[in-house]
Amino acid sequence: MLTSEETRDIFIIGLRNAHAMENQALSVIDTQLSRLESYPEMITLLQQHRRETEGQIARLDQIFEGLGESASTFKDTAMSAMGSLQAMGHALAGDEILKNHMADYMFEHFEIAAYTSLITMAQSMGHTAALPLLQQNLDEERRFQQMLIDGLPGVTEKFLQRLETGQKADV
Ligand code: MG
Ligand code: FE
């Protein structure tokens, strides 16, 4: 049987992981934005989710504050570096826009799973103050994930059309 202190520690580890995940998201988005040229609709979508992500980090910070904890910066830094490496890896392919889009969709799945698990923990541990904050983060991830998959056919068609007409298509 776990003590309440032990379960609280598990919740805090989950929150720290989510904090690092969101910082990774920021660095992935920034790397993609620094390269995008031909897809203004993707630039707008990513800028919008970047702002949402900053709000998500602020909500996680608010939860830490309520628990008398702080987010550790060590894992955040490591995950940020991994995020930009991952986004740069796609630059070697001719279909960077599509690879990034699919990777972003996959990343949103991970975020949805992370918040679903954290909400369950918060519920079973009675951290009711954290619930609306985590729920808002989850809702934003779901919405963005849906926008990504809804937008993928159009981006793919535009990619093909630009290739066929000899225009820059990769980013
Ligand atoms: Mg997020
Ligand atoms: Fe997200």
pLDDT digits (tens, 9 = 90+) for 57-67: 999 999 999 99
State the chain's mean pLDDT as an integer.
Answer: 94
Residue 67 sits at φ, ψ, to 5 deg, of -95, 0
Q: For residue 32, what are the contacts with CB-CB under 8 A and spacing of at least 6? A: 42, 46, 87, 100, 104
Ligand 1 center to 160 CA (angstroms): 30
Ligand 2 center to 162 CA (angstroms): 28
pLDDT of residue 27: 95
Ligand 1 center to 136 CA (angstroms): 10
pLDDT of residue 127: 95
SS3 of residue 164 by DSSP? helix
Residue 138 sits at φ, ψ, to 5 deg, of -60, -45
User: How far apart are alpha carbons 36 and 53 in whole angstroms?
Assistant: 19
Ligand 1 center to 141 CA (angstroms): 6
pLDDT level of residue 163 (50, 70, 90 thresholds):
very high
Of 104, 99, 91, whose CA–CA distance to 146 is shortest? 104
Ligand 2 center to 111 CA (angstroms): 6
- Fill in the DSSP letter of residue 167: -
Ligand 2 center to 138 CA (angstroms): 9
pLDDT of residue 131: 98
Ligand 2 center to 116 CA (angstroms): 13
Tell me how far the alpha carbon of residue 127 is from its chain's centroid.
23
The pocket of ion ligand 2, defined by CB under 5 A, consists of 111, 141
Of 99, 81, 25, whose CA–CA distance to 57 is shortest? 25
**Ligand that comes closest to the CA of residue 115:** 1
**2 φψ region: left (φ > 0), alpha (ψ -120 to 50), beta (else):** beta
pLDDT of residue 7: 84
Among the residue ranges 10-19, 33-42, 67-76, 149-158, the one predicted with the least confidence is 67-76
Task: Kindly report the length of the chain.
Answer: 171
